[in-house]
């Protein structure tokens, strides 16, 4: 009787949240999957089922391939730049935990992660600006020719990677510091007694023991890298001033197909590709962690 009453309370209490969740999460996710199999254009009246035709078309769509390649380069570029730096900085901040400056270091490195994307991207737009930017001024000071950073196809991708890494670093450092705090102190004391130096215990103890954290941070960084949009939108306007066109990324391509070309079904199939990438990365994380658990 009592149990029954508790059950009713639990269901009644969870119901509103569940209803919202179903409406703003479950339904649109299911709808994305459904739309990806249809030729669903806003303009045409009949929206036939086309099976995997959208995906087949994606394979030959050079704009999509371009976007996929750019996005992948950005995601892995950010990963390669961020993780080693974050690990070293977190280790040093952890080493100086008791100093008065520790709070300042953490805050300063974390601020780029919390400030709004667009204003922060503006700061970098100025830095990279070909005519006004301090980066070119600095280069010419050292006798290196000035570059048009934001209009060169290769350099503009690098600019976006730098901006994204600058934002991602604070998060990675924070998670690593938490990781360091959870490592057993006794192990380090034992290593010290055996004559290990600071860098040695960092290399042979911290890095292997922090592997699960590294994996977690890597996947989070990659996933947010694959969702990059605002940074490219602001930094990479093309010569005509159309935002985000210089470096095409997946989300931009998807939104253009949906709202400029009115091809919603086709855009949904791009969203499914994005989902498959994210799921793949998450699965790699889980399976690697499980293997470690077995060993």
Stretch that binds another protein, among 55-63, 64-72, 151-159, 272-280 (CB under 8 A): 272-280
* By the rule CB under 8 A, 116 interacts with another protein: yes
Among 95, 192, 211, 290, interactor with another protein by CB under 8 A: 95
Q: Least CB distance from residue 249 to another protein, whole Å? A: 10
Least distance between another protein and beta carbon 205 (Å):
18
Query: Among 58, 89, 160, 247, which residue interacts with another protein (rule: CB under 8 A)?
Result: 89
Give, in degrees to the nearest 5, the angle at Cα 32 between 29 and 38. Answer: 155
**SS3 category, 135:** helix
**Does 31 contact another protein by CB under 8 A?**
yes
Residues 109 and 103: their CA atoms lie apart, in Å, by 10
Applying CB under 8 A, among 65, 80, 255, 284 the residue interacting with another protein is 255
Binding to another protein (CB under 8 A) within 139-178 occurs at: 141, 166, 169-171, 174-175, 177-178
Q: Using CB under 8 A as the criterion, what x/- string covers residues 4-23 for binding another protein?
A: -xxx-xxx-xx-xxx-xx-x
92 makes contact with another protein (CB under 8 A): yes
CA dist 216 and 156 (Å) reads: 28
How far CA 42 is from CA of 39, 99, 267, 269, in Å, comes to 10, 61, 12, 15
* Residue 121, SS3 per DSSP: helix
Cα–Cα distance between 288 and 282 in angstroms, integer? 10
């Amino acid at each position: 009787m009592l149990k029954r009453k508790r059950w009713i309370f639990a269901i009644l209490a969870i119901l509103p949240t569940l209803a919202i969740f179903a409406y703003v999460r479950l339904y649109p996710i299911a709808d994305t999957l459904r739309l990806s199999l249809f030729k669903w254009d806003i303009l045409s009246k009949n929206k036939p089922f086309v099976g995997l035709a959208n995906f087949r078309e994606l394979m030959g769509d050079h704009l999509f391939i371009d976007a996929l390649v750019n996005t992948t380069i950005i995601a892995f570029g950010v990963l390669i730049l961020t993780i080693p730096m974050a690990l070293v900085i977190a280790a040093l901040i952890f080493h100086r935990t008791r100093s008065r400056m520790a709070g300042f270091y953490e805050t300063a490195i974390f601020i780029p992660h919390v400030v709004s994307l667009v204003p922060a991207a503006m700061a970098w737009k100025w830095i990279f600006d070909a005519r006004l930017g301090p980066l070119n001024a600095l280069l010419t000071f050292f006798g290196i020719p000035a570059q048009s950073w934001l209009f060169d196809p290769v350099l503009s991708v690098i600019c976006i990677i730098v901006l994204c890494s600058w934002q991602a670093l604070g998060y990675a450092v924070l998670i690593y510091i938490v990781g360091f705090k959870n490592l057993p102190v006794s192990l380090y004391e034992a290593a010290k007694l055996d004559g290990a130096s600071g860098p040695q215990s960092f290399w042979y103890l911290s890095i292997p023991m922090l592997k699960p954290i590294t994996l977690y941070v890597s996947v989070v960084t990659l996933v947010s890298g694959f969702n990059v949009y605002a940074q490219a939108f602001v930094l990479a306007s093309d010569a005509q001033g159309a935002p985000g066109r210089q470096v095409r990324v997946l989300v931009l391509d998807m939104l253009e197909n949906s709202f400029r070309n009115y091809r919603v079904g086709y855009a949904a199939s791009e969203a499914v590709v994005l989902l498959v990438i994210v799921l793949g990365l998450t699965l790699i994380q889980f399976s690697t962690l499980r293997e470690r658990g077995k060993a």
